[in-house]
Chain A
Amino acid sequence: MSIGIKISNLKKMSLKKATSTFLQPKFVYIPLISQNDTNITLMVKKGDYVFKGTVIGKRKGNFRIPIHSSVSGTVVGYEEHTHLNGEKIKCVVIENDFKEKYEERKGIKKILNRFTTEQFVEMLKECGIVGMGGSGFPTYIKYSTNKRIKTLIINASECEPFITADCALVKDKCEEILEVIDAIIDIFHIEECFIAVRKDNTKIKKIFNDFIGTYLKIKLVDVSSVYPSGWERNLIEDVKKVSYKKEPIEKGIIVNNVSTMYAIYEALKMEKPLIERIITITGDAIKKPQNILVKNGTLIKDILEEIKGLNSCRSIKFVAGGPMTGISLPSNDLVVTSNLNCVLVLKNPNITKESDCIHCGKCVGVCPAKLSPVIIKDNINKEKILSDLQVNRCIECGLCSYICPSKIDVREYVKKAKENLNKRR
């Protein structure tokens, strides 16, 4: 049983319209950042002509994922724009020539499982596939392991409120997703595969059930509709009833997001790098909330103009990411990257007032990682006690701050405790 609480869904507003596209931006601003590291070597300079898919930056350290250009055109210069982690990052500005040219003509493969495991991992690395559920973790690392992979779990639950990007993708591309899952099962000789969907998500279940009958090894599984049901540990508890210590590969399990599966499909079929994705633009300040397919590096400002902008209001809250894990930004300057899955704009938000802690214990009862946030808050300066309380288990889901009746931001205290503890080591 996964621990968590039910939060109101608020997903209906973004599913009313069909998925639209915005694939013709005039300028593209590619941020030079990879896994929160800005130490990138540039491979192009000002005035160069780049093709769609050219590598324009490479990371120096481990886990090398190349940064691709998402359009063909000329490099015009460098500017600074805000990334989804809240900081201003240097970006390469490319002027689009609207020709959508690749460097070499790439063929289309008909059968997807003619890869060895090494070729598969290499292809994932070259095309820059990262986790598209918001984590941004390079996917090839999960598959480059010596251990035997017994189970593959596909996360289609999308537990955070407001976000419907995965649901919109599955509506259109269900057959392709099932094809690639089947190919991966053949390549790695996996025994079983589960697709995890929330119990109350009847739309997606209907779509899957139409096509899943032909695939004997793939099964559809219900998980609970509480908030962090898409967290790895909760998902594995619900589906396989086991728990692991550090990584799920100890028990032979791999968990992947369903949008990542579609990106792997395009990489295997057409050698296409990860340069576009679906994001959800929603909130009660948006005139027409919808899901939209955009390229990496597009400015959100341009997208908002395209979809007819905001309702009139005095003040807004502009959030990059979901409502529980996202950060609110001081302006609407934001670029699209592979790990951004939602932009939330709220109308006329109230300023909440903090009061004293009453030690009611609700934050302890609600934490999915079994921590005790109120005790961490009271002992924020005492090192010995903090190291016993295993602060590093925190996944920053935000439930402790959500449920506090005194409106204290408890998650900030836990984050600070983590920082203090890791600095000393």
Chain B
Amino acid sequence: MLEYQVDKGPHIKNHDTTRKIMFRWLIALLPIILFSFYKNGIKLYIDKDVNFLGMFRPLIMIFIACIGSIISEFLSQLILFKKRDKELKKSMSRFDSFFPGLFLALMLPIHTPLLYIFIIIFITVILSNVILKIFKYNILNSALLSKVIILVCFSSIILNNGGYLNTTDIKNSIKNVPLTNSTTMNSIGDYQSLVKPYGNLWDFFTGNIPGTIGETSTILCLLAFLYLIIRKSIKWRIPLVYVSTVFVITWMIGGYHELGIWYPLFQILSGGLIFGAVFMATDTKCTPTTPIGQILYGLFLGIITTLIRYLTPFPELSIASVLIIDCFVILLDRVGAKARFDFHKSIWLFVLAWLLILVVGMSITLVKVKENPKNVEPNKQEEIKKENKEEIKVEQVEEKSITQLITTDFTVVEKDITNNIATYVVSQKAKMGDIKARIVINNGRLTTFIILDQHESDYQKLESENYVNKLVYNQDNLANYPDVEGAKETSQSVKKLVINTLKDYNNK
């Protein structure tokens, strides 16, 4: 007997399935995983900075995060959605239950304790499934939420273990990742201070800079993006609009302070922005499905990212803007669906986005101008000069009373004064040798203070308290600033460096 099959859909099918799409994402991520293993594992072993077991640390982090996310997805399908046997097998064989763990591991610093990774990804995957069950819409990106929780709650534990820097970076006396470094200078600085300590812009592009284990290499992320576009497995409008918006806003800010084209490029290539734009902001479940909805999504993401970068002390968390905008995805989709026939209905959102871009650009510029007075009008300039003179007088009075701080072991190695910017390379004798530093003074204010070379045994304590940058913040009251406990002599030598440099500048 011939069997007749009856169903309703089209009777020819294409051969693309969800499993194949997820498999392509995994292929696109493979070079990034290998690069992170090389940069944070093999290279350190070759330079003899870690033992054999420490070489595998990135892979162990990825493995534990994936296991946590798979187990959590399995349990939530079993208990929350009450699936059994065949349906359970079908849900788990969709091949995407390990992606939250993989993305989370690639976005974390190398010294994160492994137990916290496992626990937090377990909790957030269950949480996102609970939200799916209650609201029937998935608005939570579990990898991003886990990253935010880990970096906000456990940052002190991570820093104690060493923070973002692996042992090679510490050996090369790098203090911070590029974005944190720029935040200490109020995010406006020159090429020398923002980019030079880490190489040139090409190093930023290939990934030879310190940072989290997977986010640094821009060129591999771009190659993955191209591959996924060719295979039609990614929502390509979102990363394009997102990165362009950040570029435009930082270009406006940089243009006001007369910084060149390198400034917006530096902002794009640091802080893991391109990794976040390509892989986190295009997560299929929580992003809009209509073309106009996707463009608006990218615009608003760019605005909130620049706000977080410039105005909060957590620039590494700027990808958390995705979490904020995900709550409005349903609205963006409705507007996008109506706008397919009638473009007018979506115009108000575009106008709002462009107005916000202008407002954000201008307001950040004005806020930063207050903290970095550079292009000041002549009346105000006289007032500032008067203030400086008063401060110098105060300093000189205090200097007289504490003469034992000033010694003759201070030398100026290099001095360069152009316009109103003075760049010094100075050297000061200390307990176990000389401390060498570069100091930049701008219009009478100390803006940059970097220790180039030192041989102190207790310098670690100064570093862990960020003593050097605190001195820059408190430059008006240096002589009375307390020393670091347990490192008294070193702190005093460092303070002497600064005071002597200022004195030399004021005596010019």
Contact = CB atoms under 8 A, between A and B. Distances in A.
Contacts of A364: 289-291
A385 B338 CA distance: 10
A375 interface: yes
Interface residues of A, number: 56
Contact of A330 (B4, B290, B294): B4
Contacts of B265: none
B18 A355 contact: yes
Contacts of A330: 4, 6
A360 B21 CA distance: 10
A47 interface: no
Interface in A260-274: none
B378 interface: no
B18 A405 contact: yes
Interface string B99-142: 00000000000000000000000000000000000001100000
Given A314-B3, A351-B5, A405-B16, A324 B291 contact: no
Contacts of A403: 14, 16
Contacts of B337: 371-372, 375, 389
A370 B94 contact: no
B333 interface: yes
Interface string A170-185: 0000000000000000
B9 A398 contact: yes
Interface string B1-28: 0111111111111101110110000000
B5 A353 contact: no
Contact of B4 (A331, A388, A405): A331
B470 interface: no
Given A356-B94, A370-B340, A372-B337, A349 B5 contact: yes
Interface string A349-377: 10111011011111011000011101100
B122 to A, nearest CB: 22
A358 B9 contact: no
A353 B7 CA distance: 12
A374 B290 CA distance: 9
B381 interface: no
A8 B14 CA distance: 10
Interface string A388-409: 1110000000100111011101
B10 A406 contact: no
A316 B4 contact: yes
Contacts of B290: 361, 364, 372, 375
B173 to A, nearest CB: 47
Contacts of B477: none
Interface in B20-65: 20-21
A314 B16 CA distance: 26
Interface string A1-37: 0000001101000000000000000000000000000
Contacts of A412: 8-9
A318 B289 CA distance: 35
B235 interface: yes
B361 interface: no
Contacts of B21: 358, 360, 405
Interface residues of B, number: 41
A280 interface: no
Nearest to B22: A358
A326 interface: yes
B10 A401 contact: yes
Given A315-B4, A330-B4, A360-B21, A355 B90 contact: yes
Interface of B (DSSP majority class): loop
A365 B237 CA distance: 12
Contact of A360 (B13, B94, B289, B334): B289
Contact of B5 (A317, A356, A372, A405): A317
Given A346-B11, A356-B91, A370-B340, A328 B5 contact: yes
A319 interface: yes
Contacts of A372: 289-290, 333, 336-337, 340
B291 A315 contact: no
Main secondary structure, interface of A, reads loop
B87 to A, nearest CB: 10
B341 interface: yes
B393 interface: no
Interface string B283-296: 01111111100100
Interface string A332-347: 1000000000001010
B126 to A, nearest CB: 18
A329 interface: yes
A62 B462 CA distance: 93
A326 to B, nearest CB: 7
Given A323-B10, A324-B12, A405-B16, A318 B4 contact: yes
A318 B5 CA distance: 8
Contacts of B20: 405
Nearest to B94: A355
A125 interface: no
Given A358-B18, A371-B340, A405-B21, A315 B5 contact: yes
B284 A315 contact: no
Given A372-B290, A375-B334, A406-B18, A319 B11 contact: yes
A385 B288 CA distance: 17
A390 B136 CA distance: 23
B4 A409 contact: no
Contacts of A358: 18, 21, 284-285
A402 B340 contact: no
Nearest to A388: B338
Nearest to A372: B337
Nearest to A360: B284
B91 to A, nearest CB: 7
Nearest to A376: B337
A198 interface: no
A316 B291 CA distance: 40
Nearest to A390: B341
Nearest to A326: B11
A411 B9 contact: yes
A161 interface: yes
Contacts of B6: 317, 328-330
A265 to B, nearest CB: 33
B5 to A, nearest CB: 5
Given A316-B2, A356-B94, A375-B333, A323 B12 contact: yes
B150 to A, nearest CB: 27
A389 B337 CA distance: 7
A379 to B, nearest CB: 9
A365 B13 CA distance: 17
Please indicate which of the listed interface residues B11, B286, B336 has the most CB atoms of chain A within 10 Å of its own CB.
Answer: B11
B4 to A, nearest CB: 5
Q: Which 4 residue pairs spanning A and B have beta carbons closest together? A: A361-B289, A315-B3, A372-B337, A398-B10
24 contacts: A7-B12, A310-B2, A317-B4, A317-B5, A317-B6, A323-B10, A328-B11, A329-B6, A330-B4, A344-B11, A355-B94, A358-B285, A359-B286, A359-B287, A361-B294, A364-B289, A364-B290, A370-B341, A372-B340, A375-B290, A375-B337, A388-B334, A403-B16, A411-B8
Given A313-B2, A403-B14, 11 more contacts: A7-B12, A8-B12, A315-B4, A323-B12, A328-B4, A328-B8, A329-B6, A355-B90, A361-B284, A361-B289, A411-B9
